[in-house]
Structure 1
Amino acid sequence: MSQSVARALDVLDLLSRGVRTLDALSAELGVHKSTVLRLLQTLESRGFAAHDTAHRYRVGPAVFALASDALDAVDVRTAAAPILRALAAETGQTVHLATYQDGVVTYIDKVESRQGLRMYSRIGLPAAIHATAVGKVLLGGLDPAERERVAAGLDLHAFTPRTHVTVAGLLADVAVSAERGWAEDHEEHETFMNCVGAPVHGPDGRVAAAVSISVPNVVLAHDGVLALLPALLEATERISAELGARTPTTASAPTLSPAPPKETP
């Protein structure tokens, strides 16, 4: 790579991380200020950098336009498809991809398991936010205030004795799930099914989608489903990278816990 091109990209990276002055940029790059100034002038001429009257520099509008075009060109379903199918082939279980919009979690892709037992879920159908792994993952990706608002408006229908039926219980579970980097549906939507889910992150670091693995009890016990987490987390990191997430996320190892008692409103 051309040294000038490499340095210009380094300047953009520093600007995006809040390095604003000529002196600071020069110190970070380890080059003379005159060199940095020439790079900044070139970037400004193409709209990739800008500065204010105090000569504090920032990312220019061309960067945002370029990012917007790139995001439009990357569809999460398309990016995830081969990785979802590889995950399903590796585990032999049903794999879902879901997204969130305006209070609704929707399945946008599904790969069936090799088992004879089929799940009710279908591409295009909504998922119960409070009783599915993907629902909890996507709820956990919202800002805290928005998370509480959405949770307060949910119909906390009790699908099974394990389903969350109080907002406080659901939010506590979602907070733990968001902190450790994965969520589970431990017989909360169907008494014979366990699921684990993990987030897919977009270029801005926010949760863009969720992937889950669903397994009937007759195929794997709860502990066996938790043992699939490393494969799931590897898959979601790969999808996140395809979407342009800048850094991989890390999730804590699963810990077994007793089943929560049924909540009462």
Structure 2
Amino acid sequence: MSQTVDRALSILPLLAEGPANLEQVATRLDVHKSTALRLLRTLREHGMVYRQRDQRYRLGARLFALAQQAMETIDIREIAHPHLAALGERCGHTVHLAVREDGEVIYVDKVESRYPVRMYSRIGKPVALTVAACAKVLLADLPDAERRALAERLDYPSYTARSTPNAAAFLAELATVREQGWASDLGGHEESINCVGAPIRGTDGRVVAAVSLSAPNVVVPAEELLRLRPLLLRTAEAVSREYSGRTPVKEDHA
């Protein structure tokens, strides 16, 4: 990378900390003011920085527009799949990736269990909002008013004796999910199936997807599945870091 490009790019994280004047930029880059001014002018011409009335510079709107456009073109499945496959290989259970879309939570990727007993879930199928671990992870991150309004308009089917019975119980469970950072479905949808889910977060910290581990009781009891929670959370965090660009693409899937 040329020195000029390197210096220009170094200005952006500086301004991400807050507005800075010409002298501050020059000092941080360890260059003459004329050099810093030339770099700032170039970035300004491309909308990457904006000069305020007080002559300080801040990040420009064009930079945010490009960032948003880039995020919209990122396929969370492509980033997450190697991590999901590694998780499935390590623990042997079914791994799902789910997102919220048009008011539903749907599976967008799945790694099958290595065991003969398989789950009937499929990619593209909506999940049961009031019981599924993935759904709880995604819905728990909604703003308070939106979360409450959603809970009050949902139906609460009694899939099993452990299904969420009503809006009050659902809101209480979502509050717990927000606090602890993970969710579970222990026989709430099917008596014989247990599941634990964890959030995948974007650059702004909001939940963009959920990853889960599921297994039938005949393969592993709920208590043993829950003991895999640290591994699941590390996987979700690894996907989050890569998705948000906080680490290089190469990542330890363990």
TM-score (norm. length: structure 1)? 0.83
Q: What residue is the counterpart of 1:47 in the other structure?
A: 47
State, as a whole percentage, how many aligned pairs show the same letter.
47
Residue 235 of structure 2 corresponds to residue 235 of structure 1: yes
Indicate the SS of the match to 2:47.
coil
Amino acid at match of 1:174: L
Work out the CA distance in 2 between the residues paired with 1:132 and 1:25.
Answer: 51
CA contact (8 A) 1:200 1:207 kept: yes
User: For residue 168 of structure 2, what is the aligned residue in structure 1?
Assistant: 168
Question: Structure 1 residues 149, 57: CA separation in 2 closer, same or farther (over 3 Å shift)?
Answer: farther
Could you say if the C-alpha distance between residues 82 and 30 of structure 1 is closer, same or farther in structure 2, counting changes exceeding 3 Å?
closer
Q: State whether residues 93 and 214 of structure 2, in contact with CA within 8 Å, keep that contact through their aligned partners in structure 1.
A: yes
Which stretch shows the higher mean deviation, 23-32 or 8-17?
23-32
User: Alignment partner of 1:107: what SS?
Assistant: strand
Flag structure 1 segments of 5+ consecutive residues without an equivalent.
Answer: 248-265
Paired residue for 1:138? Answer: 138
Cα distance change on mapping 1:233 and 1:25 into 2, 3 Å: farther
Counterpart contact for 1:12–1:59, Cα < 8 Å? yes
Amino acid at match of 1:186: L
Whether 2:215 is the aligned partner of 1:215: answer yes
For residue 126 of structure 1, give the secondary structure of its aligned residue in structure 2. coil
Unaligned runs of 5+ in 2: 248-254
Cα drift, residue 29 of structure 1: 3.1
* Higher alpha-carbon deviation: 226-235 or 4-13: 4-13
CA distance, structure 2, for counterparts of residue 70 and residue 13 of structure 1: 18
The residue aligned with 2:82 is 82
Residue 130 of structure 2 aligns to a residue whose secondary structure is: helix
What is the CA distance between 1:10 and its match in structure 2?
3.7
Contact 1:25 1:36 in 2 (8 A): no
What residue is the counterpart of 1:197 in the other structure?
A: 197
Question: Please, what is the CA RMSD of the aligned residues?
Answer: 2.4
Q: Is the 8 A contact 2:7 2:29 kept in 1?
A: no
- Which region of structure 1 is more displaced relative to structure 2, 25-34 or 165-174? 25-34
Q: Matches of residues 1-265 of structure 1 in structure 2 within 5 Å?
A: 5-17=5-17, 19-22=18-21, 25-26=24-25, 29=28, 31=30, 34=33, 36-246=36-246
Shift of 1:92: 0.4
Pick closer, same or farther for the CA change 1:86–1:28 going to 2, 3 Å. Answer: farther
Deviation digits for residues 138-195 of structure 1 (CA, Å, limit 9, x no counterpart)? 0012122211121122111121111111212111211221222111111111111111
1:22 Cα offset (Å)? 1.2
**Whole-Å separation in 1 of the counterparts to 2:117 and 2:9:** 52
Deviations 1:198-248 (A, max 9, x none): 01112232111000000111221222111111221121122112212548x
Structure 1 residue 62: deviation in Å?
3.0
Residues 181, 222 of structure 1: alpha-carbon distance in 2 compared, 3 angstrom cutoff: same
CA offsets 1:52-98 (integer angstroms, 9 cap, x no match): 32334322233134323422442011111121111111110001110
1:86-111 residue CA offsets vs partner (Å, 9 max, x unmatched): 11111100011100023210111111
Q: CA deviation at 1:24?
A: 9.1
Q: Distance in 2 between matches of 1:24 and 1:193?
A: 62
Q: Distance in 1 between matches of 2:139 and 2:155?
A: 14
Change over 3 Å in CA distance of 1:107–1:24 after alignment to 2? farther
Larger CA deviation: 54-63 vs 181-190: 54-63
Amino acid at match of 1:20: P
The whole-number CA distance in structure 1 between the counterparts of 2:107 and 2:167 is: 23
Aligned residues: 246
- Cα pair 1:16 1:58 within 8 Å, conserved: yes
Return closer, same or farther for 1:134/1:24 CA change in 2, 3 Å cut-off.
farther
